[in-house]
Amino acid sequence: MRESVKFYIDGRWTDPADPARSRTLEVVNPATEQVCGTVAVASATDVDRAVAAARGAFPAWSQTSVPHRIEVLRNILDAYQKRSGDLAAALTEEMGAPASLANGFQVGLGAGHLTKAIEVLEDFPFEERRGATLIVKEPIGVCAMITPWNWPLNQIAVKVFPALATGCTMVLKPSENAPSAGQIFAEILDAAGVPAGVFNLLQGDGPGVGVPLSSHPGVDMVSFTGSVRAGVEVARNAAPGVKRVTQELGGKSPNIVLDDAAFAESVAAGVANMMGNSGQTCSALSRMLVPGSRMDEAIGIAREAAAGVTVGDPNGDVAMGPVVSRAQFEKVQSLIQKGIDEGATLVAGGTGRPDGLEKGYFVRPTVFADVTNDMTIAREEIFGPVLTILGYDGVDHAVEIANDTEYGLAGNVAGADLDQARAVARRIRAGWVSINDGFDFGCPFGGYNKSGNGREWGEFGFHDYLETKGLLGYAPDEAAP
């Protein structure tokens, strides 16, 4: 039984400020539906303590040298690698990530972002001379970080590592659905020798911790990843303090499959990718766009690909585990039923658990075809293993459908003709558009429209943690005549 009942504040593990009145929540293993842990809910008093620790540590940490911060980050990387097995086990138990995914991409993303942060920091231009003026990039201050359960280490990494690298201090609140990743992460930073107060961890839920943290007068910046609804509330809470707020929110991302020789391969890859992490990915390519004239062909390929997705005990050799919670399971089930009711063609899957699974929040890998972009399953973010296939008449129509969404987080163009794929990708209104599933730790990640604001990953992840100062007359001898 995992217990996340202490908070990491000012370099020490500490009990809640008022243990007699503190609340705890149960953590449920989504594969077994059994309680697997307990997490404490921090109070406003705990938030005050953590923010005070971060404010107290900021003057010294913000003035540390780049070589010193690089050394600290390298120490973290060493400690992270030593705990990779513990992190993976926690993700499998608490969020149902298959062991291969947890030990692979889930944990690997954290290490990859840390390695990239070190690389960026080595050459990052914190100062620039422009004639007589010096432009300086300085750490913004104390940062509040609120992260989700679907990619816990990725979302913690893309916030914490740039903040550390730029000289900020911080308070992290991970999701109460998967708290152990954050708990182990704090242990890693403690073992690596991160100075007291620079990094602080509070556990709990949105009302108990997220609200007082995002509205706290001692916080200078809030970085949030989660739903649009929660993101709006975070922004409202932060607004009276005129804080900087960055948000990575939802998506309903298009995958345009071009009409060329790679069609069959592209459709099969799109199905497999959608089922990864049980479809619980903000940037999931949940709308596949295919030429209308090849819809029947796409249906046959997609049906076969979905049938090949193995679902079951995440500790075993499976491609897909459960979704994270009963609430998520019920939401996905209702939207699958909505797709059926609205007249989409059910190609694979459907409501209920996969055959042979009597318990656990397992969802059948589901594919709908003949979907139109006005259907609920084409508009709403399902956040489950549900793919919708829409037909298009020509590339212009495909781009029109792709951009007909309130979101704009990601997209993909799949095809053998690279020049055409490049041209189409330029026209998609989204922050992260891949060509044939390209991937790059240095690419900026973030959304247009209701998918959020700000950018994470690589050097672009540094900018939101920095203020820009102009020192006029810094070099008067270099003033323009």
Are residues 259 and 192 located together in one domain of the fold? Answer: no
pLDDT in tens, 411-455: 999 999 999 999 999 999 999 999 999 999 999 999 999 999 999
Mean pLDDT of 145-158: 98
Which entry of 248, 381, 456, 459 is annotated as an active-site residue?
A: 248
**Known catalytic residue at 26:** no
Mean pLDDT of 172-181: 97
pLDDT in tens, 307-364: 999 999 999 999 999 999 999 999 999 999 999 999 999 999 999 999 999 999 999 9
Contact (CB, 8 A) for 251 and 378: no
| DSSP bridge pairs for 224 | 146, 247
Q: What is the token pair recorded at 30?
A: 């989504």
Which entry of 176, 282, 456, 459 is annotated as an active-site residue?
A: 282
Tell me if 32 is assigned to some domain.
yes
478 pLDDT band, cuts 50/70/90, is: confident
Tell me if 478 is assigned to some domain.
no
Contact (CB, 8 A) for 452 and 124: no
Q: What is the token pair recorded at 189?
A: 């930073």
239 pLDDT band, cuts 50/70/90, is: very high
Q: What is the CATH number of the domain that holds 461?
A: 3.40.605.10
pLDDT surpassing 80 at residue 24: yes
Are residues 174 and 322 located together in one domain of the fold? Answer: no
Tell me if 441 is assigned to some domain.
no
pLDDT of amino acid 479: 61
**Burial of 258 (C-beta count, 10 Å sphere; 0-12/13-18/19+):** buried
**Burial of 242 (C-beta count, 10 Å sphere; 0-12/13-18/19+):** exposed
480 pLDDT band, cuts 50/70/90, is: low
Are residues 260 and 245 located together in one domain of the fold? Answer: no
pLDDT surpassing 60 at residue 287: yes
The pLDDT > 70 percentage for the chain reads: 99
pLDDT of amino acid 477: 81
pLDDT surpassing 70 at residue 192: yes
Are residues 288 and 156 located together in one domain of the fold? Answer: no
Contact (CB, 8 A) for 370 and 344: yes
Mean pLDDT of 198-217: 97
DSSP symbol at 353? P
Mean pLDDT of 161-172: 98
Q: Which DSSP helix (H) or strand (E) runs through 391?
A: strand 386-392
pLDDT of amino acid 320: 98
Mean pLDDT of 34-46: 96
The total number of structural domains that make up the chain: 2
Q: Which DSSP helix (H) or strand (E) runs through 367?
A: strand 366-371
pLDDT of amino acid 85: 98
Tell me if 336 is assigned to some domain.
yes
Tell me if 422 is assigned to some domain.
yes
pLDDT in tens, 359-418: 999 999 999 999 999 999 999 999 999 999 999 999 999 999 999 999 999 999 999 999
Task: Residue 151: give the domain boundaries.
Answer: 2-249+448-470
Are residues 242 and 259 located together in one domain of the fold? Answer: no
Query: Of 232, 171, 197, whose CA–CA distance to 42 is shortest?
Result: 171
Q: What is the CATH number of the domain that holds 401?
A: 3.40.309.10
Are residues 175 and 290 located together in one domain of the fold? Answer: no
Contact (CB, 8 A) for 240 and 266: no
Are residues 185 and 290 located together in one domain of the fold? Answer: no
Are residues 299 and 350 located together in one domain of the fold? Answer: yes
Q: CB under 8 Å to 137, separation ≥6 — which residues?
A: 125, 126, 127, 166, 466, 467, 468, 469
Tell me if 167 is assigned to some domain.
yes
pLDDT of amino acid 246: 98
Are residues 234 and 272 located together in one domain of the fold? Answer: no
pLDDT in tens, 129-143: 999 999 999 999 999
**Known catalytic residue at 248:** yes
Tell me if 480 is assigned to some domain.
no
Are residues 284 and 409 located together in one domain of the fold? Answer: yes
Mean pLDDT rounded to a whole number for the chain: 97
Contact (CB, 8 A) for 347 and 368: yes
Tell me if 481 is assigned to some domain.
no
Are residues 200 and 317 located together in one domain of the fold? Answer: no
The pLDDT > 90 percentage for the chain reads: 98
Q: CA torsion 402→403→406→412, rounded to 10°?
A: 50
The angle formed by the CA atoms of residues 363, 347 and 343, to the nearest 5 degrees, is: 100
Q: What is the token pair recorded at 331?
A: 């939401």
Are residues 237 and 378 located together in one domain of the fold? Answer: no
**Burial of 342 (C-beta count, 10 Å sphere; 0-12/13-18/19+):** middle
pLDDT of amino acid 130: 94
Q: What is the token pair recorded at 98?
A: 């298959």
pLDDT of amino acid 20: 75
80 pLDDT band, cuts 50/70/90, is: very high
